[in-house]
Structure 1
């Protein structure tokens, strides 16, 4: 990951999940953004391939972010090259997705003649559209069977809320449907929906914001702030709450998300997994990014765990294969050992510190 000298022409690099062109499955690839193209590589046995597996030319490329047409993948962005080829890439978080989109847009604009005039013009048009928007039409669009906002179940502090959506999911949807041009405009529109009574807060975070925040700060662009349609809108039913052991385990507030390499316990191979760190209660879960981030592939409580950095010189005891570096180890309270690689040394230290706070 960062054992080689960094190329100064690299604008951004990291793991993304890419949809295949022939076989329409999702696989993790290491992406490197350059001044005119996006390269991607495979990871095999814990190391990145020396030669890249594909190139996405960025001259004349169009970017759709967010791209919400994949039901269980809300963190996708779409690239359409100048030749019309489409690429679908999924990030580990909304922040990371939006950062990739911003960096790619900057590259596309640098390659484009007159690209500097694009964003201000769109911003002015979007502002006028937002002033004249019809709230009832927005609500009707949210209810649309084919393109409306997706209703899901969310867990918060031991309770499962069904038939609801998060604040960030609504912001994503409003931008995707071009009802708002930017996330800031979408938050304003979300606030209007809340103020008009078309949307109501459910769950602890969103209810607390409504009670205590200033009027313009009551709607939260946050994946842990939950909302639903108002009680008088019965098309999709009311929100119910139920408790279960899995709900408690997955109900903690997300502290950190990211792609890391994990060594298997039975077959000692290395695979990229999406790790999610939660607090209150403290748990570390990992997911198979080729599937979804709804059902964990595994996880464990952090109370009583030991986490430590491993020396990159040589192969530490218990580690198999040729690894890239930036290793650390977690020993659970039940004495189960997890060997993990981070993409960079900085990320390794950030994960170690974040985990230590919850052990």
Structure 2
């Protein structure tokens, strides 16, 4: 019988020889993980058997890549994958863990703690807690705070986090609150902003999150940005980055000159309405380009004149900007194409 397919999509994988990070198409089946150089390839570039494997998430091997998880195969081989965003990582990790558990004939897989000081109860679901914290009505309020001659937008203090956890009966006291908040920081749900919080996170302190009014943090999927000069080389964020993140993920994009297709990570923001695209293996510091969506049109297409059929086929859509620039993109599935078109259309219509 053919292996049952469980999940598929783009992930960024660390190369075993050159140690470079490149986007690959990954297919999770009930017996292993196949990864392909391109989605259209018929044979995989490699296969990772999951029987006897373990999964580590969060992975501390690459501190500057918080969305990385590690699969340690039975032959002492380590494989590192990076998701495009937190929700994407959580879904992959959940399905891979379930697959490993099934292959081990009911033996439970216990995730290893990344820090000896953190022993969260089994009943604690950090993903659910994070969603509650982000609730616009009852969650932690994002603020505009000034510190170190800089203005931090969409952030909050460490003491605010602990106050919220206690007020919502998530923690009985500040010590329990620190344990939960540190778990959220270790998992990548919260990110440090500013020298004080970054220093604590990188210094390996017992309580990584600081219960202090001067320690600043932000939600990983928020519209956080910093203005002003920074001693740690934070960039001055342009106006187009101010909007909150509406949607993000990997798509295939056709180049304007060579007409070749490459995997790019896209981040859609509203107010102002922009979509930026990046090399998924190089992070999100400098985008490769941006598309101003105000007044643009987005539609599904079935054929692209300059594209060879064997290179790209299905789930295509086009963005036509107000200055008549055309962008051709491909989603992984028909449902994903529908979601991108809907989100882009909404932003283009309502954003500045």
- Same-fold status (TM-score > 0.5): yes
Residues 272-309 of structure 1: CA deviation (Å, up to 9, x unaligned): 00001111221100000121122111112211111111
The equivalent position to 1:57 in structure 2, one of 49, 60, 67, is 49
The TM-score with structure 1 as length reference comes to 0.68
Deviation at 1:204, TM superposition (A): 5.6
Q: Which residue of 1 aligns with 2:206?
A: none
Deviation at 1:223, TM superposition (A): 5.7
2: CA distance, partners of 1:249 / 1:348: 24
Q: Which residue of 1 aligns with 2:91?
A: 99
Identify if the C-alpha distance between structure 1 residues 307 and 114 changes in structure 2 by more than 3 Å, giving closer, same or farther.
Answer: closer
Residue 114 of structure 2 is aligned to residue 176 of structure 1: yes
* 2:13 and 2:82 in contact (8 A); partners too: yes
The equivalent position to 1:31 in structure 2, one of 10, 14, 26, is 26
Residues 153-208 of structure 1: CA deviation (Å, up to 9, x unaligned): xxxxxxxxxxxxxxxxxxxxxx63352447746969xx9xxxxxxxx995565549
Unaligned runs of 5+ in 1: 1-6, 127-174, 192-199, 234-238
**1:357 is paired with a residue of what secondary structure?**
helix
1: CA distance, partners of 2:192 / 2:245: 12
Q: Which residue of 2 aligns with 1:356?
A: 345
Deviation at 1:71, TM superposition (A): 3.7
* 2:317 and 2:328 in contact (8 A); partners too: yes
Residues 63-108 of structure 1: CA deviation (Å, up to 9, x unaligned): 1111133243211100001111000001111111111111111111
1: CA distance, partners of 2:93 / 2:214: 38
Identify if the C-alpha distance between structure 1 residues 204 and 316 changes in structure 2 by more than 3 Å, giving closer, same or farther.
Answer: closer
Alignment of 1:139-218 (within 5 A): 176-177=114-115, 179-181=118-120, 184=125, 202=145, 205-207=154-156, 210=160, 215-216=167-168
Identify if the C-alpha distance between structure 1 residues 25 and 97 changes in structure 2 by more than 3 Å, giving closer, same or farther.
Answer: same
Q: Which residue of 2 aligns with 1:48?
A: 40
Deviation at 1:325, TM superposition (A): 1.3
2: CA distance, partners of 1:321 / 1:42: 18
* 2:70 and 2:79 in contact (8 A); partners too: yes
Alignment of 1:229-240 (within 5 A): 230=212
Q: Which residue of 2 aligns with 1:299?
A: 290
Residues 320-343 of structure 1: CA deviation (Å, up to 9, x unaligned): 553121110001122211000000
Deviation at 1:245, TM superposition (A): 7.3
* 1:282 and 1:303 in contact (8 A); partners too: yes
Identify if the C-alpha distance between structure 1 residues 306 and 217 changes in structure 2 by more than 3 Å, giving closer, same or farther.
Answer: farther
**2:89 is paired with a residue of what secondary structure?**
helix
Larger relative CO (CA 8 A, sep 6+): 1 or 2?
A: 1
Residue 5 of structure 2 is aligned to residue 17 of structure 1: no
Deviation at 1:255, TM superposition (A): 0.8
| Alpha-carbon RMSD | 3.6
Q: Which residue of 2 aligns with 1:242?
A: 228
* 2:245 and 2:269 in contact (8 A); partners too: yes
2: CA distance, partners of 1:284 / 1:269: 20
* 2:3 and 2:29 in contact (8 A); partners too: no
Query: How many equivalent pairs are there?
Result: 279
Deviation at 1:240, TM superposition (A): 7.8
Alignment of 1:63-74 (within 5 A): 63-74=55-66
Unaligned runs of 5+ in 2: 134-142, 146-151, 171-176, 198-209, 216-224, 230-234
Q: Which residue of 1 aligns with 2:277?
A: 286
**1:349 is paired with a residue of what secondary structure?**
helix
* 2:9 and 2:26 in contact (8 A); partners too: yes
